[in-house]
């Protein structure tokens, strides 16, 4: 299925450090993510200045961790890869005076696999599917309940593997959101935020959530979980274990607090696409096709 618009073709020379790459994969689960989230994409990454002085590479999250990945590996494994460029709400871009590339690069570097400690953060596409089911339960976008239960069981099985290995769960678009949101300049946080307008995303930081907002969010979450019928317990268990992988104390089994703890992971590729801080540059051309 083609996107609603026809982005202009661009070469890799158009890429700048700090660009966001939004992608649409070939797998059936990519179709599911895109259909559940809306928009044109199923995966997200960040264009980095690079780890080997070769002109740049992609930082994104996958089952093997958060890694520097050659651009060709993404270009030829995804149906398409689009370049989006960040700007602050007052029009500043990464790389301008006072907005150095290193601020955001260093933020993403905190998530990369350790050279000595191995994988620290990792992503499986079923995590995004499960979180989307939880967020959007009861809408016309959610498949039949038996399918939802099957996919939640799959996501929970993968999640248990993550917990047994001590790996912190993250989503691909959640990583991009966090990488910008957590970038510091002169000690000042939230300078590089990507604003998202998604009713299922909890406000950040969690400490700033007011009592009224928290109550509204809790009620919305509980309603969504209840609509999953016999999948509700699976969804609650998944969310608690997902949060547990990030260090959240789940002893009290407070599902709403667990959701608040991992609010960024509810951000989808579609939310990034709709952000006023990101502007479409174009679609990367596969240089070796034909």
SS3 270: helix
pLDDT value of position 204: 45
Report pLDDT for 148: 84
Let me know whether 159 and 237 are in one domain. yes
Cβ neighbours of 180 (radius 10 Å) = 26
258 and 141 housed in the same domain: yes
Q: What is the CA 276 to chain-centroid distance, rounded? A: 17
Reference 23, options 7, 238, 64, 188; nearest CA is 7
Looking at the predicted structure, is the pLDDT value of residue 188 above 80?
no
pLDDT of residue 205: 44
Q: What is the mean pLDDT of the chain?
A: 86
Task: Give me 118's structure tokens.
Answer: 């191995």
CA distance 95 to 91: 12
Q: Which pLDDT tens digit goes with each residue over 24-45?
A: 999 999 999 999 898 999 999 9
Of 136-145, 175-184, 242-251, where does mean pLDDT reach its minimum? Answer: 136-145
Do 245 and 188 share a domain, yes or no? no
Residue 1 pLDDT: 39
* CA pair distance 265, 281, nearest whole angstrom: 25
Same domain flag for 40 and 176: yes
**Number of domains forming the structure of the chain:** 2
CATH code for the domain in which residue 19 is found: 3.90.1720.10
Q: Is residue 3 domain-resident?
A: no
pLDDT at residue 225, as a whole number: 82
Contacts of 273 (CB under 8 A, 6+ apart): 22, 39, 40, 41, 84
User: 250 with 288, same domain?
Assistant: no
In contact, 237 and 159? CB cutoff 8 Å: no
Q: Is residue 177 part of a domain?
A: yes
The contacts of residue 280 (CB under 8 Å, 6+ apart) are: 5, 7, 82, 83, 84
pLDDT in tens, 121-176: 999 999 999 998 888 775 555 667 788 889 999 999 999 999 999 999 999 999 99
Is pLDDT larger for residue 58 or for residue 145? 58
Q: How confident is the model at residue 206, as a pLDDT?
A: 44
166, 118 Cβ separation under 8 angstroms:
no
pLDDT digits (tens, 9 = 90+) for 81-96: 999 999 999 999 999 9
Q: Which comes out higher in pLDDT, residue 253 or 75?
A: 75
Beta strands in 121-199, from DSSP E residues, in sequence order:
121-122, 168-169
pLDDT of residue 171: 96
**Tens of pLDDT along 198-244?**
655 554 444 444 566 667 667 777 777 887 877 889 999 999 999 99
Q: Output the pLDDT for position 267.
A: 92
Distance CA(243)–CA(75), nearest Å, equals: 32
Question: Measured between alpha carbons, how far is residue 161 from residues 69, 77, 164 in Å?
Answer: 24, 25, 5
Is 275 found in the same domain as 259? no
Are 94 and 17 in contact by the 8 Å Cβ rule? The answer is yes
Range of the domain at 113: 8-123+170-193+268-290
**Does residue 1 belong to any structural domain of this protein?**
no
Tell me if 131 is assigned to some domain: yes
DSSP state of 106: H
Whether residue 28 is contained in a domain is answered as: yes
Identify the pLDDT of residue 222.
79
**Cα-based distances in Å from 74 to 21, 69, 116:** 10, 8, 26
pLDDT at 6: 83
């Amino acid at each position: 299925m083609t996107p609603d618009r026809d982005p202009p073709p661009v070469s890799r020379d158009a890429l700048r450090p700090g660009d966001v790459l939004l992608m649409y994969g070939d797998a059936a689960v990519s179709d599911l993510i895109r259909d559940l989230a809306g928009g044109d994409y199923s995966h997200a990454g960040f264009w980095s200045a690079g780890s080997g002085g070769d002109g740049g590479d992609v930082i994104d999250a996958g089952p093997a961790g958060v890694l520097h990945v050659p651009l060709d590996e993404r270009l030829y494994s995804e149906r398409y890869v689009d370049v989006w460029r960040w700007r602050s709400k007052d029009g500043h871009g990464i790389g301008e005076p006072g907005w150095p590339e290193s601020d955001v690069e260093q933020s993403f570097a905190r998530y990369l696999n350790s050279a000595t400690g191995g994988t620290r953060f990792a992503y499986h596409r079923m995590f995004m599917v499960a979180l989307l089911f939880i967020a959007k339960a009861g809408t016309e976008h959610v498949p039949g309940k038996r399918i939802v239960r099957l996919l939640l069981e799959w996501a929970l099985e993968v999640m248990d593997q993550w917990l047994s290995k001590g790996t912190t769960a993250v989503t691909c678009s959640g990583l991009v959101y966090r990488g910008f949101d957590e970038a510091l300049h002169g000690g000042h946080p939230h300078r590089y935020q990507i604003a998202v307008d998604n009713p299922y995303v909890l406000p950040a930081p969690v400490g700033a959530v007011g009592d009224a907002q928290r109550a509204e969010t809790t009620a919305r979450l509980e309603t969504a979980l209840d609509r999953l019928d016999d999948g509700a317990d699976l969804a609650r268990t998944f969310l608690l274990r997902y949060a547990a992988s990030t260090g959240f104390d789940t002893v009290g089994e407070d599902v709403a607090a667990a959701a608040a703890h991992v609010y960024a992971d509810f951000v989808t590729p579609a939310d990034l696409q709709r952000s006023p801080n990101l502007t479409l540059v174009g679609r990367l051309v596969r240089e070796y096709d034909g």
